[in-house]
Structure 1
Amino acid sequence: MSADLPQHRELVTAIPGPRSIELMERKTAAVAQGVGTTMPVFAAEAGGGIVKDIDGNSLIDFGSGIAVTSIGNSAPRVVEAVRAQVEAFTHTCFMVTPYEGYVAVAEALNAITPGDHLKRSVLFNSGAEAVENAVKIARAYTKKDAVVAFDHAYHGRTNLTMALTAKNMPYKDGFGPFAPEVYRAPMSYPYRDDKAMDGEQAAARAIDQIEKQVGASNLAALVIEPIQGEGGFVVPAPGFLPALVEWCTANNVVFIADEVQTGFARTGALFACEHEDVVPDLIVTAKGIAGGLPLAAVTGRAEMVDAPHAGGLGGTYGGNPLACAAALATLETIRAENLIERAQDIGTLMLDRLHRLQADDSRIGDVRGRGAMIAVELVKKGTTDPDPDLTKAVATAAHQQGLIVLTCGTYGNVLRFLPPLAISDELLTEGLDLLAETLAATGRS
C-alpha cells in the first residue's frame, strides 16, 4: 500500500463532500443510469484498510471492492509486477502470440486448487464469463444440456448467468428471456431451514427435486457457491456439499464450484471448498485472483477442460498479460504474508464481537461466515421476518460515519463484511464499534 496513506478513519467533510457531490453530478449526466453506486463518494487513494476520497475523507474499508482487493489495494508486489509487464508489452492476445504469464498462472492454479488429479486451466476476464464457460465445458464433456443452480444463488449478469442467478431485482428484471435448460434446487440455509434438517438431509431434498424435475440423464452440471455471496453469505450445513459431490460423481454430472467471491484466502482457506474437503470437477475463480485487475479462470479435470474443440474457448482479452502478472504477484503475497492465517484471525475477531452484539439485540437474527467473509442477517424484533428497511438504514448511517459496508441477501436484509486481509486489528475494531453505535442509534421499535 501507499506508505504515506495513514491507517485511520478521518472525516473532514460530511459524506458526501463537495467534490464528490460535483463529480456525482457529472456521473449522472455521463454514465448509464443502470450503473448504481453503494456510496456517494469518489475514491482518490486506497491501501491497507483505508479508502480515501477526493474530499480527503479516510474511510474504513469493509468491502474490498466486493472481495477483489483482498490482499490490499495497490499491494507492493502487484504494483511492481504490473509496472514491469506494462513496460514490456500490454497485449498481444494469447490466441495469436502467446506469452509465459498466462501459462504460469494456469500452472499455479492447477497446483493450488483442490484435488491432486491432472488439471487444465483457461483464463477469462470476469466471474460471469468464467461461469458461462464452465457450463460450456460441462456440456461439451457430458453431451447433456441441463444445468442446476440453487435458491439464493448469484452467478453474474450475462444472459446465461442471469438465468443461473436467483434474485430478480436488480439483476434479472426486464432482461429476459433467459437461456433455457436452467433449473433451480433448494439450498441448505441453516438459519431458515427446519432446525432438525442437517446437511445430508438438505442435500437429499435438493437431489430428490433434481431427479424428479430434471433427471440425471439430462443434467450436464450442478453449479454452486460453497458459501453464497450476493444471496446472503449463506454457509450450507456440514455435509451438504460432500453429498452433492457424491451424487454428481455417481451420475456423470459435473460439479462446478463458483469460488468467484470465496477464493484466494478470503474464507480462511485458499478456497472455501477446502473447509469440507470438497474436490470440485471444475472450480471458477475471479475477484481476488489478481489484486484488483480483471482476471478469471476455470480450472478442472483435464479430460473435462479439454472436451471443447480447438477455438471453442478463449477471448480477445482473456488472460491479459498485465492481469497475469498481477495474479502471480497476488499468489506470492498470500503466501509470503500468511494471509490465509490472517483471514482466520479476522474471522475470529469479527465473529466474537458480532455474537456479543447479537446477544444484546434480537434484531440480529443470525451471525455467520468464515474467515474474512462475515455477515449479519437483520430481522424484525422478536421474529425471523427479514428487515430490509433496517438493513438499509444501518448501512446508510455507517456510510455517513466513514465505514464502507455492503448489503446483500435475497430479502435485502444482510449486512456483509469483506475487509481486506491487510487491514489492522485497530481498524477492524473501530469499524465494529461504529457498526454497534449505528445499530444502537437506529430505532429498535
Structure 2
Amino acid sequence: MFQKILIANRGEIALRVLRACKELGIQTVVVHSTADADAMHVRLADESVCIGPPPSRDSYLNIHQIVAACEITGADAVHPGYGFLAENAKFADILAAHNITFIGPSGDHIRVMGDKIEAKRTARRLGIPVVPGSEGAVSDEREAKRIAADIGYPVIIKASAGGGGRGMKVARSEAELEMALNTARSEAGAAFGDDAVYIEKYLEKPRHIELQVFGDGAGAGVYFGERDCSLQRRHQKVWEEGLSPALNESQRARIGNICAKAVADLGYSGAGTIEFLYEDGEFYFIEMNTRLQVEHPVTEAITGIDLVHEQIRVASGGGLSVRQEDIRFQGHAIECRINAEDPRNFTPSPGTITHFHTPGGLGIRVDSGVYSGYRIPPYYDSLIGKLIVHGRNRVECMMRLRRALDEFVVDGIQTTLPLFRDLVGNPDIANGDYDIHWLEKYLAASEQG
C-alpha cells in the first residue's frame, strides 16, 4: 500500500479522495492554486503545496509543478480525480518515468480511449456493440455522403478528439450534410487542435447508459452495474441514477458481462466507464472514460463498495477486492449535480456563500467542498456539490430526494437547486420516462411558458 498520495485536483473530488486516503491510513498531499488557498481539502490535508496562480494552465494543468510537489513531499502516488489531468496520457507517462504511481490506467490505454475513432475500433475488436458509422476519420464530403447513405439519415458528425458536445453536428438529409461537416470540423479544430471528424448513425430518442467497470491489469475485470445519465443539457450530465429504470436484469447482465470481459481482455487497470446510447433494447458504444466519474457515488450507494478504495488497492498491486459474484445491487440511487449557476440561463454565479446547510437522514449523502463564508472563484467548473440519495426502491428514493432538496440551503449565490425541485415533481421523471433530449425540450418549453 502507498505511504503518501498526492491529490492532483480541487473541490469536492479532492475532498472525496482525501477522505478515502485517511480511512486507509495513507498520508495526503494536496496541490492548490492561490485561488484555492482556503479550500476545505487544503485545510484537511496532511500537507499542501501551492503550485501556481488561478488559471488552470498555470496550476492544476502544470505537470512540472505537480511532479515537483511529489518530489518535495515524497509522495509515491498521485490520484488525479476527474477532469484536469485525469485522462492525460503524457502525465501518466511522466509519473511512471519518475517512479511515481498514477492511480489510473496506463498511458497507452488512456491514449487509445482518448481518441474517439481508435476507441471505437478497439471496442469493436473487444466485442462491444458500436453505433453504425465510419471506420475512421472522414476524408471529404464525397466519402461522408457515401457513408451517410449507407447507414441512413439522420447522422451525427463528431470530433475525433472531442467531448462535451463540441465539434458535434446533426445532419438530417444530404442537403444538410456539407454545412454540418464543415461546421463540425471548424469547431473541432478550434477546440482541440485537431479537425478530424467521423460519422455515426443518429439515434432519435436514446438513453445514455454507462457501465462502471474495473480491471486489475492482469486479466481480471468486473462490472458494478450501470448508471442512467440521460438527463443532460448541452451534452453535460445533470441528473444520474442507478440502476437504470429502462433496463431489466437480463439486459444488465448481458451488457455488463460484455464490458467486464472487454476490460479483462484489454489488460485494463483501475476504474473505467464504458458509455452507451441505448434504444429499442440495443446498446451502442460511444466512448470510454478512463477515470473515476463525477457520478461514481451512485454506484457506491447501490453496491456498498468504495470505488476510490478500490482504485487505490488496484494501483498498489493488491488486485480487485471482489469477484463478479460478490457484487450485489441493492435499492436505487439518484445524484443531482448542484452547480453555482443561474437556474434559468445557467450562467456561472461565483461569489461568497453566506449560508450553507445540507440535508441529512437515512440514505442522504452530500459530497461538497464548500462551506458558509467560502468564496467560489470564477476560474473553474461551477460544480459546488453533489446530492446523492438512496432508497430501497426508486419510489422511496424519489420521495427521499424531494425531502432532501427542500432541506438544502445555499445562500449568497444562485444554484441549480430550483431546477431539481421542479424535476422531482415532474410525471415523466417520476415514471422514468425520459431520453437524452428530454431536459432540453423541457427547458425550452419552460422558457416559452
Q: TM-score, normalised by structure 2?
A: 0.30
Higher strand fraction: Structure 1 or Structure 2?
Answer: 2
Higher relative contact order (Cα pairs below 8 Å, separated by 6+ residues): 1
